[in-house]
C-alpha cells in the first residue's frame, strides 16, 4: 500500500476516535433537563439489553430461591412420611386394645414403648424359587433381629414373620402367602376361627371352617384378623379380606382370602422388636 494511503487511513482513524471521545464527553456534561437526540438514541438501543440482563439475573435468583424452598419441602415430606409410618403401626397395634387402658397417662406410656419397638426395614431380595414365599430385608442380628418377630407393611397390615437371621444385616421373612405358613385367624363378623395358609400364588386360604357354617355366620367381604392363639402373631392385626366362599363334598368350606399387603409395593416394612401382647396385659 502507498505511504500516503497509510497516512490517510491513520488520520481517518484518529479523527474518528477524537470525534467519538467528544461524544462521550458531551454525554457526561449536563446540558439541561432535556436529553440530547444522541442520548435518546443510545438509551433506546441499549435499554432492551439492560432489561434483558436484569431479567436474566432476576430469573437466576428466583430459580435459586425455589431450589432451596423445594429442598426444604422435600425434607418436610420425608419427616411426615416417617411419622405416618410409625402412626400406622401404632394404630394397628392399639386398635383392639385401647379399651383396656384406664388413663391417658397409660396410653402415652404404652405408645412410647410401642414406638421404640418398631424397626423400619426395607426389602432387598426375593426368594428365587417363589416370589410369594419369602423376602430378604436389610436388618439382621446386629439390629437385634430374632426368629418369629412379626413383620408388618407400611400400612400396619400383616406381611409375615422372621424365620431366619441370615447375617449381621440381613434376615429372611416368611410371608403369609407361603404355602408352608400358618396363622390363627378369625373372620371379623362373628369371629369364626380358622387357620390361614398361603397358596403360593399370592393369595391365602382360611381352612378348618366347618361346611355347616352358614352365610349369616361368615360371608364374603369380611376382614380376616389375627386371633393370637398361635402365640406368634398378636391378636388384632389385619390380614386380608374374604373374596370367595364355596362348599364341596369335604367337611370344611373353601375360603379364599386376599392379603391386605400389596406385593407390588412391598418396599418399606416394620419389624416388631417386642411381643406386642406384653403391652396389653392387665
- For residue range 50-108, list pLDDT tens digits in order: 555 556 656 666 666 666 666 666 666 766 766 666 666 666 665 555 544 445 555 55
Cα 265-268-271 angle, rounded to 5 deg: 130
Mean pLDDT computed over 180-206: 95
Provide the 10 A C-beta neighbour count for residue 94.
19
Residue 251 lies in a domain: yes
Closest CA to 186 of 142, 137, 223: 223
* Lowest-pLDDT choice from 14-23, 126-135, 143-152, 203-212: 14-23
Residue 3 lies in a domain: no
Beta-carbon-side half-sphere exposure of residue 187 (alpha carbons within 13 Å): 27
Please, are residues 276 and 113 in contact by the beta-carbon 8 Å criterion?
A: no
Domain range for 151? 81-282
Which residues are paired to 242 by β-bridges?
A: 257
Please, are residues 172 and 252 in contact by the beta-carbon 8 Å criterion?
A: no
Handedness of CA 115, 143, 267, 237 (dihedral sign): negative
The CA distance from 282 to 278, in Å, is 10
CATH of the domain at 154: 2.40.10.340
Provide the 10 A C-beta neighbour count for residue 85.
18
Radius of gyration in angstroms for the set of CA atoms belonging to the chain, rounded to a whole number = 37
Which residues are paired to 258 by β-bridges?
A: 241
Residue 268 lies in a domain: yes
Residue 250 lies in a domain: yes
| Mean pLDDT value across the chain | 77
**What is the predicted pLDDT for the residue at 104?**
54
Residue 176 lies in a domain: yes
| Domains contained in the chain, number | 1
The CA distance from 114 to 222, in Å, is 28
Pull the grid cell for residue 247.
362348599
Provide the 10 A C-beta neighbour count for residue 102.
9
* Lowest-pLDDT choice from 20-34, 57-71, 122-136: 20-34
The CA distance from 160 to 178, in Å, is 9
117 pLDDT band (50/70/90 cuts)?
confident
Residue 47 lies in a domain: no
Residue 15 lies in a domain: no
Residue 90 CB partners (closer than 8 Å, separation 6+): 111, 114, 115, 118
- Residue 239's Cβ-count burial label (10 Å; 0-12, 13-18, 19+) is buried
Q: Is the pLDDT of residue 112 over 90?
A: no
The CA distance from 58 to 234, in Å, is 60
Amino acid at each position: 500500500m502507498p505511504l500516503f494511503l497509510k497516512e490517510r487511513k491513520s488520520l481517518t482513524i484518529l479523527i474518528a476516535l477524537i470525534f467519538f471521545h467528544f461524544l462521550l464527553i458531551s454525554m457526561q456534561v449536563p446540558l439541561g433537563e432535556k436529553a440530547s437526540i444522541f442520548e435518546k438514541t443510545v438509551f433506546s438501543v441499549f435499554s432492551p439489553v439492560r432489561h434483558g440482563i436484569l431479567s436474566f439475573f432476576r430469573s437466576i435468583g428466583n430459580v435459586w430461591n425455589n431450589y432451596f424452598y423445594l429442598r426444604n419441602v422435600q425434607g418436610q415430606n420425608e419427616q411426615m412420611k416417617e411419622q405416618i409410618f410409625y402412626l400406622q403401626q401404632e394404630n394397628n397395634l392399639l386398635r383392639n386394645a385401647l379399651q383396656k387402658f384406664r388413663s391417658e397417662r397409660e396410653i402415652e406410656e404404652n405408645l412410647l414403648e410401642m414406638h421404640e419397638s418398631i424397626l423400619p426395614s426395607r426389602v432387598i431380595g426375593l426368594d428365587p424359587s417363589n416370589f410369594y414365599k419369602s423376602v430378604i430385608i436389610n436388618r439382621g442380628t446386629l439390629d437385634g433381629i430374632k426368629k418369629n418377630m412379626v413383620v408388618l407393611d407400611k400400612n400396619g397390615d400383616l406381611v409375615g414373620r422372621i424365620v431366619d437371621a441370615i447375617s449381621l444385616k440381613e434376615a429372611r421373612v416368611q410371608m403369609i402367602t407361603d404355602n408352608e405358613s400358618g396363622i390363627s385367624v378369625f373372620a371379623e363378623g362373628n369371629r369364626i376361627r380358622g387357620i390361614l395358609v398361603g397358596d403360593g400364588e399370592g393369595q391365602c386360604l382360611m381352612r378348618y371352617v366347618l361346611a355347616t357354617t352358614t352365610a349369616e355366620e361368615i360371608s364374603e367381604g369380611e376382614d380376616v384378623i389375627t386371633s393370637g392363639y398361635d402365640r406368634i402373631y398378636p391378636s388384632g392385626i389385619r390380614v386380608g379380606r374374604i373374596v370367595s366362599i364355596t362348599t364341596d363334598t369335604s367337611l370344611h368350606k373353601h375360603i379364599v382370602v386376599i392379603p391386605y399387603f400389596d406385593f407390588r409395593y412391598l418396599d418399606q416394612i416394620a419389624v416388631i422388636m417386642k411381643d406386642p401382647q406384653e403391652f396389653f396385659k392387665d
